[in-house]
């Protein structure tokens, strides 16, 4: 079968769904690759690059669609493109099935199969195909770059002979994929970064990236993101008022605001109101990543940059991934290639459209003359936090009784172990020479102390603890080397085993230490 990629017809779209590298990987799955002439030019991939990768270059969309069994593209197909779809073809693209009823009906009429890349379920196995996250990652990064391009000062603070430059203050509203990418870029550029999200469970992730999470003095049980496909749920009016009050407090302080709040197939919620914009300092910048759905900020104009009366720049561009076409095309084509890997389990160049597979079924919106959107919930649920176990409150008397019982049980176990250990030492001492017993008692006490120390270490510290054991292992290997020349064959065997095991521990400990230190080094 042949997989082809047409030239994107949407105005201003620079991405392409197949790169020379992804074409080579698709060929390993048994497919022949076809591309329309000039399809990759805006992303920096020439026709000659595709030819060198073994891709057939054809002229015109009609020739491309006629030659291909599978068509991979980026933007939502237009009516003319869907008109080329037939029952024996598969289309893989962004489709927006929730807001594209006419497109679904047209796809149904053709009898072809349509796989919508934004419908890939957010489960662990499908992360490599999550094109929505790939593009959101680029959008978040590019949003900070665009903000810096329109901001009149440094991101990082500086102290120079000419004076002190304070760092920029950046607020990221929404800590999804795009928000986290914006947070990472902002902090790496040296800005003081704040982040807000209606899901408090993301606070730890935000803080781990060097940003400060903005908390509200408001308690509301939020819907689990797993139940909404990884997106935040709609908040109550009371929560929204508390949220807006916090933003009004922050507005005069921040220099750059990046809003990412979006709920699929709904108008973007208005989170940055006109009074907040009026309170911002002249020269401040707002980048609204929800501009395509009306924007999170009042005054956002889709695909335009506007400047308010008080000098605040509002950027409403919707083509951030397309502005980084080479990178976006590389990531998107990799998502497509992973999807094709799942569709081709035998690697024989033949599609197996298995509707029992969670990922394939979830992403398929039209198949065999039927609309298959919306999909059923995946059999494997998205990763979600375990519900907290309800622990009944104990009275002070019950707590003291429980602590006393636990102490008595622990004491009983320790006494039992000491008694058994003493009996074993006595038994050995009855038959072993006195010189042996001196060393044996030291050995037993060392094992006991080591066991007690290691047992109390948290599991997360076991790996760094391995590095510390290098010193202990070195002592063991020295003792074994001294005994290797003994006249007893039993001592020689035991010494050899000691050298072997201690050597593994020493070299392994150094490797672990090296890898741990590398984690804290900037590349």
The model's pLDDT over 197-230, given as tens digits with 9 standing for 90+, comes to 988 889 999 999 999 999 987 765 544 444 444 4
Residue at 446 is within a domain = no
Catalytic residue among 46, 127, 158, 438: 127
On whether both 142 and 232 belong to a single domain, the answer is yes
- Domain final position from 298, 318, 338: 318
On whether both 89 and 170 belong to a single domain, the answer is no
Domain boundaries, position 168: 137-318
Higher pLDDT, 27 or 385: 27
On whether both 170 and 305 belong to a single domain, the answer is yes
The token duo for 50 is 């595709």
Q: Are 16 and 321 in contact (CB under 8 A)?
A: no
Q: How many domains does the chain have?
A: 3
pLDDT greater than 60 at residue 476: yes
Query: What tens digit of pLDDT does each residue of 143-164 get?
Result: 999 999 999 999 999 888 888 9
On whether both 313 and 339 belong to a single domain, the answer is no
Lowest-pLDDT range of 141-145, 220-224, 440-444, 513-517: 220-224
Question: 521 falls in which pLDDT band (50, 70, 90)?
Answer: low
Residue at 159 is within a domain = yes
Alpha carbon separation from 246 to 210, 243, 298, 411, 489 (Å, rounded) = 21, 5, 17, 53, 78
- CATH number of the domain that residue 352 is part of: 3.40.50.720
Catalytic residue among 133, 327, 329, 498: 133
pLDDT at 226: 43
pLDDT at 223: 46
- Domain final position from 371, 388, 410: 371
> What is the C-alpha separation between 41 and 12, in angstroms, rounded?
13
Q: Are 51 and 127 in contact (CB under 8 A)?
A: no
pLDDT at 490: 82
Q: Tell me the mean pLDDT in the region 300-317.
A: 97
Catalytic residue among 31, 50, 231, 332: 231
Q: What letters, b where the CB count within 10 A reaches 16 and e where it falls short, cover 309-340?
A: eeebbbbbbbbbbbbbbebbbbbbbbbbbbbb
pLDDT greater than 80 at residue 87: yes
pLDDT above 70 covers a percentage of the chain that reads 88
pLDDT greater than 80 at residue 287: yes
On whether both 165 and 228 belong to a single domain, the answer is yes
Strand partners, 159: 164
On whether both 254 and 343 belong to a single domain, the answer is no
Query: What tens digit of pLDDT does each residue of 480-513 get?
Result: 888 887 778 888 888 888 888 888 877 777 777 7
Q: According to the per-residue pLDDT averaged within each range, which of 66-70, 200-204, 469-473, 493-497 is highest? A: 66-70
Residue at 429 is within a domain = no
Residue at 415 is within a domain = no
Residue at 64 is within a domain = yes
Write down the residue that tokens 């900020």 correspond to: 297
pLDDT at 462: 58
On whether both 340 and 311 belong to a single domain, the answer is no
> What is the C-alpha separation between 6 and 36, in angstroms, rounded?
5
pLDDT greater than 70 at residue 135: yes
- Does the annotation count 127 as an active-site position? yes
Higher pLDDT, 510 or 313: 313
Residue at 310 is within a domain = yes
Query: What tens digit of pLDDT does each residue of 169-201 get?
Result: 999 999 999 999 999 999 999 999 999 998 888
Q: Tell me the mean pLDDT in the region 306-315.
A: 97
Residue at 221 is within a domain = yes
pLDDT at 464: 60
Residue at 218 is within a domain = yes
On whether both 214 and 256 belong to a single domain, the answer is yes
On whether both 251 and 353 belong to a single domain, the answer is no
- Does the annotation count 31 as an active-site position? no
Catalytic residue among 15, 122, 142, 361: 122
Q: According to the per-residue pLDDT averaged within each range, which of 160-164, 247-251, 407-411 is highest? A: 247-251
Question: 432 falls in which pLDDT band (50, 70, 90)?
Answer: confident
Q: What stretches of 117-254 adopt beta strand conformation (E)?
A: 158-160, 163-165, 169-173, 192-196, 212-213
Alpha carbon separation from 224 to 101, 126, 207, 381 (Å, rounded) = 28, 20, 20, 12
Alpha carbon separation from 405 to 184, 249, 394, 414 (Å, rounded) = 50, 52, 15, 14
On whether both 305 and 162 belong to a single domain, the answer is yes
On whether both 123 and 17 belong to a single domain, the answer is yes
The token duo for 396 is 């002070």
On whether both 176 and 237 belong to a single domain, the answer is yes
CB atoms within 10 A of CB 167: 17
- Does the annotation count 122 as an active-site position? yes
């Amino acid at each position: 079968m042949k997989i082809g990629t047409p030239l994107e017809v949407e105005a201003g779209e620079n991405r392409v769904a197949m790169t020379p590298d992804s074409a080579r990987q698709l060929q390993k799955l048994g497919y022949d690759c076809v591309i329309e002439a000039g399809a990759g030019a805006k992303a920096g991939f020439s026709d000659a690059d595709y030819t060198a990768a073994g891709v057939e270059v054809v002229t015109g969309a009609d020739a491309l669609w006629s030659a291909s069994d599978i068509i991979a593209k980026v933007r939502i197909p237009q009516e003319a493109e869907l008109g080329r779809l037939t029952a024996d073809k598969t289309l893989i693209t962004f489709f927006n099935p929730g807001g594209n009823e006419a497109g679904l009906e047209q796809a149904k009429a053709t009898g072809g199969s349509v796989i919508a890349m934004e419908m890939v379920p957010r489960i662990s196995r499908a992360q490599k195909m999550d094109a929505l996250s790939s593009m959101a990652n680029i959008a978040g990064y590019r949003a900070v770059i665009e903000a810096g391009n329109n901001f009149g000062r440094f991101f990082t603070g500086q102290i120079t002979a000419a004076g002190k430059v304070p760092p920029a203050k950046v607020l990221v509203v929404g800590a999804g994929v795009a928000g986290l990418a914006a947070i990472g870029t902002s902090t790496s550029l040296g800005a003081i970064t704040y982040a807000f999200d209606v899901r408090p469970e993301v606070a730890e992730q935000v803080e781990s990236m060097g940003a400060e999470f903005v908390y509200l003095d408001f308690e509301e049980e939020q819907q689990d993101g797993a139940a909404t496909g990884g997106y935040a749920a709609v908040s109550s009016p009371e929560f929204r008022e508390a949220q807006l009050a916090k933003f009004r407090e922050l507005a005069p302080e921040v220099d750059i605001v990046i809003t990412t709040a979006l709920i699929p197939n709904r108008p973007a919620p208005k989170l940055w109101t006109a009074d907040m914009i009026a309170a911002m300092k002249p020269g401040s910048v707002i980048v609204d990543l929800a501009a395509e759905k009306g924007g999170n900020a009042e005054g956002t104009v889709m695909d335009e940059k506007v400047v308010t009366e008080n000098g605040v720049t509002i950027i409403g561009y919707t083509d951030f991934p397309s502005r980084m076409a080479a990178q976006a095309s590389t990531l998107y084509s990799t998502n497509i290639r992973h999807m094709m890997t799942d569709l081709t389990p035998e690697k024989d160049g033949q599609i197996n459209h298995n509707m029992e597979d969670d990922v394939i079924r979830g992403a398929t919106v039209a198949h065999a003359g039927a609309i298959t959107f919306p999909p059923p919930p995946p059999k494997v649920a998205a990763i979600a936090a375990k519900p907290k176990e309800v622990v009944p409150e104990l009275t002070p008397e019950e707590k003291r009784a429980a602590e006393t019982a636990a102490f008595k049980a622990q004491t009983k176990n320790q006494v039992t172990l000491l008694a058994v250990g003493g009996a074993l030492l006595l038994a050995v001492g009855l038959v072993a020479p006195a010189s042996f017993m001196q060393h044996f008692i030291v050995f037993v006490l060392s094992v006991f102390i080591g066991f007690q120390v290691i047992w109390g270490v948290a599991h997360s510290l076991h790996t760094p603890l391995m590095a510390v054991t290098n010193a202990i292992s070195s002592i063991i290997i020295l003792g074994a080397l001294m005994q290797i020349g003994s006249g007893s064959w039993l001592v020689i065997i035991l010494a050899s085993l000691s050298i072997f095991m201690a050597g593994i521990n020493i070299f392994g400990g150094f490797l672990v230490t090296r890898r741990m230190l590398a984690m804290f080094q900037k590349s």
